[in-house]
Amino acid sequence: MTAKLTKDYILSQIKTDKRNDGRKLDVFRDITIETGISANAEGSARVKVGKTEIIAGIKMDIATPYPDSADKGVLTSSAEFLPLAAPEFEAGRPGDTEVELGRVVDRGIREAGVIDFKKLCLVEGEKVWRVFLDILVINHDGNLIDASGIAAMAAILDAKMPSIDKDDVIDYKNRKDKLPTQTFVLPITIRKSEDKLIVDATADEEEVFTTRITITTNEKGNISSMQKGGPGGFTTEEIVKVSKMAQKLGAEIRNKHFKNLIK
């Protein structure tokens, strides 16, 4: 937990539009993306946003489709906080924060139609590809949602589908076709304290800026999902402002870090 003295200092700095690490209020920390880090996953990525580190992986198998989407594949997302990532993280059953992290990332991907699920149908009503998205928090220094969303998108773009024979035996060593995608999304989380808004909050800043909103946009700037968290709220004017911030920052991250992955 952040000491009161640190919280007071962060607040005093923010009132003059300054942050402990010297960034402006609307600037991300350095982002690095490494893909193909797991030979056993269909797709994988390691992402660092400042000191926050996330690993995301894609695995696939064959499953029965849901009754209301008989001609579509399935996406299952989960997030896990490893105990080594932060002193407050404990091993065991996923807590509410882990569940929320997985759901927010999943919702942005699902609502935008990132994966073309119809192309994952093998036999309508009987067999489809199921995509597992696993998110592991390796080191926590704030902004887990955005870092996880970036890692998830990088892993999806890196993923190649395994082949299957006539008996539905999966050959995981023979991966050829890319996972079919239709669009590309990134989440941007903006946090609020009084009348100040910041992006990419550190762990210390998150204890001061407890009101947050995550806005996921695609490459055209269209919003696919919006999720508020924490106490407090945003005015109509602030919603307009944070939406524009998310569109701008999403475009900047795509242009700077994803050019080699989008083909």
DSSP secondary structure letter of residue 200: S
Own/partner long-range contacts of 216-220 (Cβ < 8 Å, ≥24 apart): 216/107, 216/108, 216/111, 216/112, 216/149, 216/185, 216/186, 216/187, 216/188, 216/246, 217/185, 217/186, 217/188, 217/246, 217/247, 217/250, 218/112, 218/183, 218/184, 218/185, 219/183, 219/184, 219/251, 219/254
Q: Where are the domains of the chain?
A: 29-257
141-173 pLDDT, tens digit each? 999 999 999 999 999 999 999 998 877 788 888
Whole-angstrom distance, CA of residue 169 vs CA of residue 150 = 32
Reported pTM: 0.93
pLDDT-derived band at 260 (thresholds 50, 70, 90) equals confident
The answer to whether domain 29-257 has CATH 3.30.230.70 is: yes
73-127 pLDDT, tens digit each? 999 999 988 877 766 766 666 677 888 999 999 999 999 999 999 999 999 999 9
Residue 2 has pLDDT above 60, yes or no: no
pLDDT value of position 15: 78
